[in-house]
Amino acid sequence: MKRILLVFPGARESVWSMRLALKIMRKRAFIPPLGLATVAGLTPAGYEVRIIDETVEPVDLDWPCDLVGIAGYTFNSPRMLELADEFRKRGVMTAGGGPFCKTHADVCKKHFDVVFSGEVENTWPKFLAEWENGAHAAFYEETGAVDMTASPPPRWDLLDMGAYSSGIVQTTRGCVYDCEFCDVVALTGRRVRSKSLEAVTEEIRALIRLGVSAIWVADDNFTANTAYAKEVLAKIISINRETGKRARFITQITAEKAFDEELIALLKEAGFFAVLIGIESPNRESLAETGKIQNLKTDLAEAVRKVQSSGIYVVGGMVVGFDADGRDVFDRHERFISESGLLLPVVSMLKASRGTRLWKRLSESGRLTEEDDGDFYSGSNFVPLGLTKAELADGYDNLTRILFGYDNSIGRFSQFIARVEDAPRPAPVSIQDVLAGLRASLHFLLGPSERRRFFIRGIRTGLKRGLWGATAFVELAVWLESHRDFHLKDGGARG
Q: pLDDT at residue 488 above 80?
A: no
361-386 confidence digits (pLDDT tens): 999 999 999 988 988 788 899 999 99
C-alpha closest to that of 409 among 477, 316, 333 = 477
Instruction: Judge contact between 404 and 345, C-beta under 8 A.
Output: no
For residue 346, give the 3-state DSSP assignment: strand
Residue range 134-149: mean pLDDT, rounded? 95
252-293 confidence digits (pLDDT tens): 999 999 999 999 999 999 999 999 999 999 999 999 999 999
- Model confidence at 487, in pLDDT bands (50, 70, 90)? confident
C-alpha closest to that of 109 among 125, 118, 96, 90 = 96
Q: pLDDT at residue 495 above 80?
A: no
User: What pLDDT was estimated at residue 178?
Assistant: 92
- Model confidence at 17, in pLDDT bands (50, 70, 90)? confident
27-39 confidence digits (pLDDT tens): 999 999 999 999 9
User: What pLDDT was estimated at residue 331?
Assistant: 98
The tally of CA atoms less than 13 A away on the side-chain side of residue 371 is: 9
For residue 59, give the 3-state DSSP assignment: coil
Q: pLDDT at residue 428 above 80?
A: no
Domain boundaries, the chain: 2-141, 166-388, 404-495
User: What pLDDT was estimated at residue 9?
Assistant: 98
C-alpha closest to that of 117 among 131, 132, 138, 134 = 138
204-256 confidence digits (pLDDT tens): 999 999 999 999 999 999 999 999 999 999 999 999 998 877 789 999 999 99
Q: Which residues contact 132 (CB under 8 A, 6 or more apart)?
A: none
User: What pLDDT was estimated at residue 493?
Assistant: 36
- Between CA 140 and CA 216 the distance in angstroms is 29
Strands (E), 321-425: 344-349
| pTM of structure | 0.95
C-alpha closest to that of 200 among 179, 164, 231 = 231
> Which phi and psi angles does 230 have, rounded to 5°?
-65, -35
- Model confidence at 427, in pLDDT bands (50, 70, 90)? confident
**Helices (H), strands (E): how many in the chain?**
20, 14
Asked: is 166-388 a CATH 3.40.50.1820 domain? The reply is: no
Per-residue CA distances from 55 to 26, 71, 82 (Å): 14, 13, 15
> Which phi and psi angles does 443 have, rounded to 5°?
-60, -45
User: What pLDDT was estimated at residue 491?
Assistant: 46
Report which residue type is found at 50: R
39-58 confidence digits (pLDDT tens): 999 999 999 999 999 999 99
Q: What is the DSSP letter of 490?
A: T
- Model confidence at 426, in pLDDT bands (50, 70, 90)? confident
180-198 confidence digits (pLDDT tens): 999 999 999 999 999 999 9
- Between CA 37 and CA 167 the distance in angstroms is 12
Reported CATH class of domain 2-141: alpha beta
Strands (E), 23-100: 47-53, 67-71, 93-97
